[in-house]
Structure 1
Amino acid sequence: MEAEQYETLAIKQNPPGSPVVHLCLNRPRQRNALSLEFFSEFPKALSSLDQNPSVSVIVLSGAGDHFCSGIDLKIFASIQSQSGSLRPGRASEWLRRDIKFLQDAITAIERCRKPVIAAIHGACIGGAIDIVTACDIRYCTEDAFFSVKEVDLAITADLGTLQRLPAIVGFGNAMELSLTGRRFSSQEAKELGLVSRVFGSKEELDQGVRTVAEGIAAKSPLAVIGTKSVLLKSRDMNVEQGLDYVATWNSAMLMSDDLTEAVSAQLQKRNPVFAKL
């Protein structure tokens, strides 16, 4: 896989040819703060990886000492500068379009068919919470810490945290974390269900995530993308609607070469080998 070049991201495939690809927030000197360039590059990178048949799982991490410190405050100065020259009404309409553009970059994680695993270390603050709540699986190091920080910047979080976090940690917990903006630990994140597992060090996190990602990558790609799609759709449906959706999905996908291979492998007591998607 040829590595594409981005200003705010790095893509790594280690070892070469692995179905697990690492998408790394790559502004370590700025604690991986999210710049305007990030919001253009991130959905492009995800789309590229999603369309690559050699990629089965994406691991999202941060370079340097922290996962991500949130949105680069220079974005707010840029927005104020651009909207300040517009008349009321037009300024609001322009700002709404700008917010929708930023939101779309985060929602690209859910739009990506391939599973996205967040590997979190150090700070995970503000906009970083928006990102990880859109990921499919979240793991962190023991020294990781979290904060829904927007209220301390006199803004209402608008890139997905207030929509996704309640379904993950519960409405009451999400309300408390969002209104206080308080910092909370990796252990509390685990107790709340924000992360599935806490690792003792960055090295242990990397190894643990690699094991999980490779395990998922070895499964039927049709089953994996179907499971992600159905879970995300069912989140916003009642049980009856969710069952109807998965029935429609499996009526199209169930009878596949992957099913034949999985059954044969079970009977022959061997590991299945699935074609790329």
Structure 2
Amino acid sequence: MNTPTPTLTGFTLGITDHVAHLVLNKPEAMNTMHPTFWRELDAVLAYLNTSGAARALVVSSTGKHFSAGMALETFGGAITLDDRSPEGRAAIFDLLTDMQATFSRVESLRIPVIMAIHGGCIGGAVDLVTTACVRYATADAFFCIQEINIGMVADVGTLQRLPKLIPLGVVKELAYTGRRLGAHKALGYGLVNEVFDTQDAMVAAALQCAREIASKPPVAIWGTKQAVNYARDHSVEDSLRQMGWLQGAIWSNRHVMESVTAMKQKRAGDFPDLPALRRFSELD
């Protein structure tokens, strides 16, 4: 099955040697998030998840900032939040659930995701980057839970995922004050894996990490991501039980032997891609 590549206006997407590179590409608007952003991101994630074309994904950006978050004009136009009736307030829940689902798709993508962050990572952009497996940053990068500064609660994942990544006291300080967290402090707290002097160096390192991931058996990478994400939200006992079921489902003597042989022969391993997927409703 050939999954069509989505048409994009706010992003660029390239895939080389099983590594996908998605670039936020609206620098004139500081890569703010509006309905088209959500629609195109949904389309890219669906493509990457179903096509099996990539084994790892790098997300980077253009211009001065990684992203300035939600486009504020959206609240006066495309998004109308009606707080005048219980029915209107119920609709806010449904709207947010839909928006949250897009970023959750990053977290649940079949392949690892690496975020390469420069400049400002503000508001909704923090929601986005907390869904990643690995985060790299430039020295000038900063993170800001901007929502509190405009009179609202962050609502698309920051307050749920960030406490899993950095100390709770730090989360509360950032969420209550709207202060900026610089890259080096973020590194100390464990929010980012490494800080780089330049954006070029950071993106190169992110792509290199993605290539290393892509060289491993894709189904083992898939299983590892499943296990780590499950363990984050469950007890050790439950996670060990899940690990037994998982390993029993995906164990491959061939992959182990090929990995060992490739290391001894100092060559790349030869492993099958994850299969392309189709929704059940799309089957004949």
Q: Contact (CA 8 Å) 2:231, 2:239: kept in 1 or not?
A: yes
Aligned residue type for 1:122: G
Q: Which residue of 2 aligns with 1:42?
A: 41
Give the match's secondary structure for 1:158: coil
Q: Structure 1 residues 4-13 or 219-228, which shifts more? A: 4-13
Distance in 1, Cα, partners of 2:266 & 2:198: 36
Aligned residue type for 2:9: E
Distance in 1, Cα, partners of 2:25 & 2:139: 22
Distance in 1, Cα, partners of 2:268 & 2:230: 30
Aligned residue type for 1:245: Q
Query: Which runs of 5 or more structure 1 residues have no equivalent in the other structure?
Result: none
Query: Which runs of 5 or more structure 2 residues have no equivalent in the other structure?
Result: 275-284
Distance change (3 Å), C-alpha of 1:199 and 1:2: farther
Q: Which residue of 1 aligns with 2:280?
A: none
Q: Which residue of 2 aligns with 1:186?
A: 183
How does the TM-score come out when normalised to structure 1?
Answer: 0.92
Give the match's secondary structure for 2:89: helix
Distance change (3 Å), C-alpha of 1:7 and 1:217: same
> Are 1:150 and 2:152 matched, yes or no?
no
Distance change (3 Å), C-alpha of 1:268 and 1:61: closer
Distance in 1, Cα, partners of 2:147 & 2:253: 46
Q: Which residue of 2 aligns with 1:60?
A: 59
Aligned residue type for 2:117: I
Aligned residue type for 2:73: K
Q: Contact (CA 8 Å) 1:169, 1:194: kept in 2 or not?
A: yes
For residues 133-172 of structure 1, the aligned pairs below 5 Å read 133-172=130-169
Distance change (3 Å), C-alpha of 1:81 and 1:267: closer
Number of residue pairs matched by the alignment: 272
Q: Which runs of 4+ in 1 moved over 6 A?
A: none
Distance in 2, Cα, partners of 1:204 & 1:196: 14
Q: Contact (CA 8 Å) 1:3, 1:11: kept in 2 or not?
A: no
Aligned residue type for 2:217: S
Aligned residue type for 1:90: E
Q: Contact (CA 8 Å) 1:67, 1:122: kept in 2 or not?
A: yes
Q: Which residue of 2 aligns with 1:246?
A: 243
> Are 1:208 and 2:208 matched, yes or no?
no
Q: Contact (CA 8 Å) 1:222, 1:258: kept in 2 or not?
A: no
Partner of residue 7 from structure 2, selected from 1, 5, 8: 5
Superposed CA offset, 1:1-48 (max 9, x none): 9753223222123xxx42111111222111000001212221221120
Question: Identity, % of aligned pairs?
Answer: 33
Give the match's secondary structure for 2:213: helix
Q: Which residue of 2 aligns with 1:89?
A: 86
Q: Which residue of 2 aligns with 1:32?
A: 31
Distance in 1, Cα, partners of 2:164 & 2:144: 17
